[in-house]
Amino acid sequence: MNLKIFIFLILIFILRFSHAETPTHDVASLIDKGDYTAASVEVSANNDENFPKKYWSGRIQYGFKKYAAAAELFENSSNTDENGKNILLWWARALRNSGALNKALTVYEMAYKEDTKNQMLIGEYASVKALTGDYAAANDLFSLITNQDIINKAERWRELLKPLVNSIKLEPLKLHCIDGMLICSNDEKEIVNLEKIAIRSKNDVEKTMGIQLPSFRLLVFASRESFLKYSDTVHNKNRAVSSPSFTLPGVIAIWNPSNWDTPPQNDTEVPGIIRHEMVHLAISAITHGENIPLWLNEGLACKYGGGIEVKAPDNITDKSFSEINTLLNSNEEKEQLTAYYLALEKVNVITREMTIDDVHAMLILLADGENIETVIKEITGKDLKVLFPLQK
């Protein structure tokens, strides 16, 4: 072969190779820096047929917090390209963040089968298992974590899951699965009516909160005694429950309203209570089970779900966030009710000009460990201590 032709072919090969590899490196670096706009320009400008454009476009959409769009791009990406091993993990993450936990579980399982040693993957997979109510499987997965950076979080999850795993035998008799909910009851009285309320409530909350609720169990207890027995077991007897319902990862527990000591005041009380608990599930899905301030959690559940049927008394004295949290854990029903009013009032002030996307952003930042004052300032542009002088 003519030497000049040979050298020319080598140069062409090098140019094509650099064209395919350099933009990938540039895009990855830009994404790592959080410069998703510049990364998007790089991806759009690359016309090489071997360039994994959908994968990197998905990473960019994920960075912009457009999780549903990112999930679709990852789903349509080729698993045979150089990023194939990462596609499943990022696809599962996008599904999880978009609220599609059930589909995310399927993809996490696929990713786990391909990479059983990935500690971050195991932790994420386990947390989604927990959020959808598969406590035993979640506990087993968390036990596999040995990475010191995430082992503490795994142990906190396992401590939470321990009573839930032990409580399985105490759950009401399972009836059937309907619209993503496993309706369980040890009392079939009015269960059909509760199912209808639950389905309507789920649709309302998903529309209001802008997120698909993960599958969960609605446990209906016949009597206050059986309800409290279950509560004592899953809470390790360290939390007072004066309300007729509560929420756990993947579970809403309620004492059958037909057997309440004081019948529901009107037709909206029970739906309001169930919606309230479902908002807690939505918050948990958005934050991936990470804690946010109790007063904020309850205030958001009151605002977007309901559960408070009477007008707040005019003589309620304002209190600090920590004082509200103390009242929420009180044994006295009146003190708890006062705390709900105060939490709702503060949430109304904070979210007055927020969209539901702003609420999502606030919750995600808090779940990532950001300080509440910093988050409110970033989202609203206002100082929390100016909004609530009592916090000074």
Indicate the SS3 state at residue 248. strand
Query: Judging by DSSP bridges, how do beta strands 174-178 and 251-255 pair with one another?
Result: unpaired
The pLDDT tens digits of the residues spanning 278-321 come to 999 999 999 988 889 999 999 999 999 988 765 666 677 888 88
Q: Following CA atoms 92, 287, 35, 381 in sequence, which dihedral angle do they give, to the nearest 10 degrees?
A: 160
Decide if 90 contacts 31 (C-beta within 8 A): no
Say how far residue 320 (Cα) sits from the centre of its chain.
27
Give the C-alpha separation, 108 to 89, whole Å: 7
Lowest mean pLDDT among 129-138, 173-182, 243-252, 254-263: 173-182
Report residue 238's pLDDT band, with 50, 70 and 90 as the boundaries.
low
Chain segment 175-200, per-residue pLDDT in tens = 767 766 777 776 666 778 888 899 99
- CB under 8 Å to 333, separation ≥6 — which residues? 242, 243
What's 371's DSSP letter? -
Which carries the bigger pLDDT value, residue 9 or residue 136? 136
Mapping DSSP to helix (H, G, I), strand (E, B) and coil, where does residue 184 land?
strand
For residue 25, the tally of other CB atoms under 10 A from its CB is 10
The candidate with the shortest Cα–Cα distance to 293, out of 326, 259, 271, 334, is: 326
Domains in the chain and their CATH numbers? 1-88 (no CATH), 167-283 (3.40.30.160), 291-392 (no CATH)
Instruction: Report pLDDT digits (tens) over 14-46.
Output: 444 444 444 556 888 898 888 999 999 999 988
- Count Cβ atoms below 10 Å from residue 1 Cβ, excluding itself: 6
Q: CA-CA-CA-CA torsion for 233, 237, 243, 247, nearest 10 degrees?
A: -50
